[in-house]
A and B are shown apart, each in its own frame.
Chain A
Amino acid sequence: MKKIEAIVQPSRFEAVKSALHEVGVEGMTVTEVRGHGRQKGHTEVYRGSEYTVDLLAKIKIEMVVSDGLAGSAIQAILRAAKTGKIGDGKIFVTHVDEAIRIRNEDRGEAAL
Chain B
Amino acid sequence: MRRILPQLVLGLVVFFGLLAPAGFAQAPANARPAASAQVQDRIAKLEQQVAEARSSGDNAWMLVCAALVLMMTGPGLVLFYGGLVRKKNVLATMMQSFILMALITLLWALFGYSLVFHEGNRFIGNFGYLFLRGVGPVPNADYAATIPQQTFMVYQLMFAIITPALITGAFAERMKFSAMLLFMILWSVIVYDPMAHMVWGKGGFLNASLGGAIPTLDFAGGTVVHVTSGVSALVCALYLGKRLGFPKEPMPPHSVVLSVVGACLLWVGWFGFNAGSALTAGSLATSAFVATHFGAAAAALGWAAAEWFRNGKASALGAISGAVAGLVAITPAAGFVGPMSALLIGAIAGVVCFLMVTKVKGKFGYDDSLDAFGVHGAGGSIGALLTGIFALRAVNPVFKDAQGTAKAVGLIDGNPGQVLNQVVGIAIAWVLALVGTFVILKVVDWVVGLRVAGEHEVQGLDLSQHGEEGYNLEA
Q: Residues on A close to B: CB < 8 A?
A: 44-49, 51-53
Contact = CB atoms under 8 A, between A and B. Distances in A.
B317 A46 contact: yes
Contacts of A46: 252-253, 256, 315, 317
B21 interface: no
Contact of A44 (B252, B361, B371): B252
A44 B313 CA distance: 11
Contact of B358 (A48, A51, A52): A48
Interface of B: 247, 250-253, 256, 311, 313, 315, 317-318, 321, 357-359, 361-362, 371
Contact of B315 (A45, A52, A53): A45
Contacts of A45: 311, 313, 315
Contacts of A52: 250
20 contacts: A44-B252, A45-B311, A45-B313, A46-B252, A46-B253, A46-B256, A46-B317, A47-B317, A47-B358, A47-B371, A48-B357, A48-B358, A48-B359, A48-B361, A49-B247, A49-B251, A49-B362, A51-B250, A52-B250, A53-B250
Contacts of B311: 45
Residue from A45, A46, A47 having most chain B Cβ neighbours under 10 A? A47
A53 B251 CA distance: 11
Contact of A47 (B247, B250, B318): B318
Nearest to B256: A46
Nearest to B253: A46
Contacts of A49: 247, 251-252, 362
Dominant SS among interface residues on chain A: strand
Contacts of A48: 357-359, 361-362
Nearest to A51: B250
Contacts of A51: 250, 252
3 A-B pairs with the lowest CB-CB distances in the bound complex, closest first: A48-B358, A51-B250, A47-B357
A91 to B, nearest CB: 31
Contacts of B362: 48-49
Contacts of B252: 44, 46, 49, 51
Contacts of A44: 252
Contacts of B313: 45
B130 to A, nearest CB: 44
A52 B311 CA distance: 15
Contacts of B256: 46
A47 B321 CA distance: 9
Nearest to B318: A47
A46 B253 CA distance: 8
A9 B9 CA distance: 70
Contacts of A47: 317-318, 321, 357-358, 371
Contacts of B247: 49
B90 to A, nearest CB: 16
B355 to A, nearest CB: 9
A47 B357 CA distance: 7
Contacts of A53: 250
B229 to A, nearest CB: 18
A69 B462 CA distance: 51
Nearest to A43: B311
Nearest to A47: B357
Nearest to A44: B252
B256 to A, nearest CB: 8
Contacts of B357: 47-48
A53 to B, nearest CB: 8
A48 B318 CA distance: 9
A32 B252 CA distance: 22
Nearest to A48: B358
Nearest to B247: A49
Contacts of B361: 48
